[in-house]
Chains A and B, each alone.
Chain A
Amino acid sequence: MPALLVVLLAALAALPYFAPYFYIFVATEILIMGLFAASFNLIFGYTGMLSFGHAAFFGMGAYACALLLLHFEVSLLTAILGAMLASTLLAAAIGFLSVRLGEVYFAMLTLAFGMMVYAVAHQWRSLTNGSDGITGFRLTEFGLGLDLQLFNPAVYYHVVLVVVVLASLVLYLITRSSFGLMLRAISENPERVAFCGVNERRHRLVAFIIAGLFAGLAGALFAPFNRVASPDMVHWTQSAEPVLMTILGGAGYFLGPFFGAAMFVLLETWITSFTEHWMLLLGIALALLVMFFRRGVLGTLLDKVTGR
């Protein structure tokens, strides 16, 4: 398994040298959406909370990054760190008000807060430029004195690859830690955890904030990639994507969301290339995959291998 992962990472690193130009963009999007979905899975798969408002943090990251680049002409690294901070604060506020509620109410409340953030992004025209979004920001330097040609898609792809791999490593360590064990216990039985002497609500809040932080990182990578931060990145349909990707790939395994993101983006890319009814076909494909791979495609395959 680790050997397989090394091969995969090597292939990803070498991708711009053998894959068609177009697939550099596809791969960049897969990595960013994979991180977005993995951050979502920290609260969904590991902690048992279904959030329908995760795009709020993704969008916050995208907007904060774009605004910092546009108005302050900071380095990309500074913009990313600023965006992560902004998303963390937003997640702390929304999380504080949401995690006190149980399952369905939690889902509805996160959806409601997500819609509010969308409304702000859409209507605070003086700050966000409304439905046109924020454009025209320049990528001057990465930071740390690195001389990177960020406007070159292959270079930006490599930046995204390194950042996503590092972020995923941190997320992975968290899932394996004592804190991660508490989250898994909470997902099954929060009350039993409380009777072990742990404030489970505080754990759910911290998990929610960490998930928001990494979603913000994904959003901060996404805005420069698209050259725009626009309201559709905060729309509730954007919140549905990590849900679909995670269920598609498998919530029970750490790499499930990445796998699901890859399938989702590739299906979308291939289907849109030959029909304009891509939503219908994508829907059918997703429905079939979910029906026949109950624990996600990667999850079901790995279950077979490990004999679980």
Chain B
Amino acid sequence: MSEPILSVKDLRKSFGGVRAVDGVSLDVQPRETVALIGPNGAGKTTFYNMISGRMKPTAGSVRFQDQDITGLPPHTISRLGISRSFQINNVFTELSARQNVEVALTALHRKHFSMFRPASRNRAIQEEADAVLERLGLRHLSDTRAGVLSYGDKRLLEIAIVLATRPSLVLLDEPTAGMTPEETRHVTQLIKSLAASGDYTFLITEHDMHVVFDLADRILVMHRGRRLAEGTPEEIKADPEVRQAYLGEEEVA
């Protein structure tokens, strides 16, 4: 097995006396898709927040591509190649769909201090914006203000922004939350094709078990801030402890 792209060791986060994440370790291999599951309040989002720099861990370490990134600010972590999406839509509603993508591309091309030249005049940025919007099936909505896009299109735009930063590790926080079954299928197919392209490593949280078992190479189950189990989808399905604590009555065939 090759060197892990992401290596989390004994990560902890306490809020007052509450241990939201209580000593979780995880290694992610390059080009792997790992799903992080667990009931609400299991600590998944806090775990994400610490990896992406939104929160500083109380203890533990995060290494990315052989570099210690524990406690670095979000913009530094993003530049190193980790990009995340958000559980709630977090697009720039006053900007057009294309401008949303341009924000990320401007940062990628280090043009964010360019004072007198608009991003719309930068050919490299425009070509990449076209490509990303095309890939997400949003090309025809380029000039639409993001605020008036449908819920599903906003979720797609969220992913477009993430991809535009050209990350090697992508953290998706419930990418299909609130989507119609058809939109969910579309996003699942999209993530599958991106994973198959070999350019990305995915860490995904998701409540929809069909999506999880469809996408994940490996699953980490969290429960009350701790690691409950880890393994292939088959192993997780068969794990009695997981069934009891989390999957419960849910059908996992």
Docked complex Cα distance between A287 and B64 (Å)? 55
Q: Which residues of A contact B112 (CB under 8 A)?
A: 178-179, 182, 198, 203
Report B20-43 CB contacts with A as 1/0, cut-off 8 Å.
000000000000000000000000
* Given A173-B115, A177-B116: A193 in contact with B103 (beta carbons within 8 A): yes
Docked complex Cα distance between A302 and B107 (Å)? 31
Q: Which residues of B contact A195 (CB under 8 A)?
A: 52, 74-75, 78, 83-84
Most buried by B among A180, A191, A196: A196
* Cβ–Cβ contact B94 & A184, under 8 A: yes
Report A259-303 CB contacts with B as 1/0, cut-off 8 Å.
000000000000000000000000000000000000000000000
Q: Which residue of B lies closest to A183 (CB)?
A: B112
Is B206 positioned at the interface, with any CB of A under 8 Å from its CB?
no
Q: Which residue of A lies closest to B122 (CB)?
A: A178
Is B181 positioned at the interface, with any CB of A under 8 Å from its CB?
no
Docked complex Cα distance between A254 and B165 (Å)? 30
* Cβ–Cβ contact A196 & B103, under 8 A: yes
Q: Give the Cβ gap from B175 to chain A, nearest Cβ, in Å.
A: 15
Given contacts A176-B118, A181-B95, A196-B161, 16 further A-B contacts (CB under 8 A): A177-B118, A178-B111, A178-B112, A178-B113, A178-B114, A179-B114, A181-B103, A181-B119, A184-B92, A184-B95, A185-B92, A192-B92, A194-B73, A195-B78, A197-B165, A199-B73
* Cβ–Cβ contact A198 & B122, under 8 A: no
Is A200 positioned at the interface, with any CB of B under 8 Å from its CB?
yes
Q: Give the Cβ gap from A251 to chain B, nearest Cβ, in Å.
A: 12
Q: Which residues of A contact B116 (CB under 8 A)?
A: 173-174, 177
* Cβ–Cβ contact A196 & B165, under 8 A: yes
* Given A185-B95, A185-B103: A197 in contact with B115 (beta carbons within 8 A): no
Is B99 positioned at the interface, with any CB of A under 8 Å from its CB?
yes
Q: How many A-B residue pairs have CB under 8 A?
A: 93
Is A189 positioned at the interface, with any CB of B under 8 Å from its CB?
yes
Is A161 positioned at the interface, with any CB of B under 8 Å from its CB?
no
Q: Give the Cβ gap from B217 to chain A, nearest Cβ, in Å.
A: 25
**A to B CB contacts below 8 Å, 27 in the list:** A174-B116, A177-B114, A177-B118, A178-B118, A181-B106, A181-B118, A181-B119, A182-B112, A185-B95, A185-B99, A185-B103, A188-B95, A191-B54, A192-B86, A192-B92, A193-B103, A194-B74, A195-B78, A195-B84, A196-B75, A196-B103, A196-B164, A197-B104, A197-B165, A198-B107, A199-B75, A203-B113
Is B108 positioned at the interface, with any CB of A under 8 Å from its CB?
yes
Q: Which residue of A lies closest to B116 (CB)?
A: A173
Q: Which residues of A contact B104 (CB under 8 A)?
A: 196-197
Instruction: Report the count of interface residues on B (CB-CB < 8 A).
Output: 36
Docked complex Cα distance between A274 and B52 (Å)? 63
* Given A173-B115, A173-B116: A197 in contact with B92 (beta carbons within 8 A): no
* Cβ–Cβ contact B75 & A181, under 8 A: no
Docked complex Cα distance between A184 and B112 (Å)? 12
Is B102 positioned at the interface, with any CB of A under 8 Å from its CB?
yes
Is A15 positioned at the interface, with any CB of B under 8 Å from its CB?
no
* Cβ–Cβ contact B113 & A197, under 8 A: no
Docked complex Cα distance between A189 and B92 (Å)? 7
Q: Give the Cβ gap from B137 to chain A, nearest Cβ, in Å.
A: 21
Is A206 positioned at the interface, with any CB of B under 8 Å from its CB?
yes
* Cβ–Cβ contact B84 & A197, under 8 A: no
Q: Which residues of B contact A184 (CB under 8 A)?
A: 92, 94-95
CB-CB contacts below 8 Å: A188-245 with B: 188-189, 191-200, 203, 206
Q: Which residue of A lies closest to B146 (CB)?
A: A188
Q: Which residues of B contact A194 (CB under 8 A)?
A: 73-75, 78
Docked complex Cα distance between A178 and B90 (Å)? 20
Q: Which residues of B contact A196 (CB under 8 A)?
A: 75, 78, 83, 103-104, 107, 161, 164-165
Is B192 positioned at the interface, with any CB of A under 8 Å from its CB?
no
Is B140 positioned at the interface, with any CB of A under 8 Å from its CB?
no
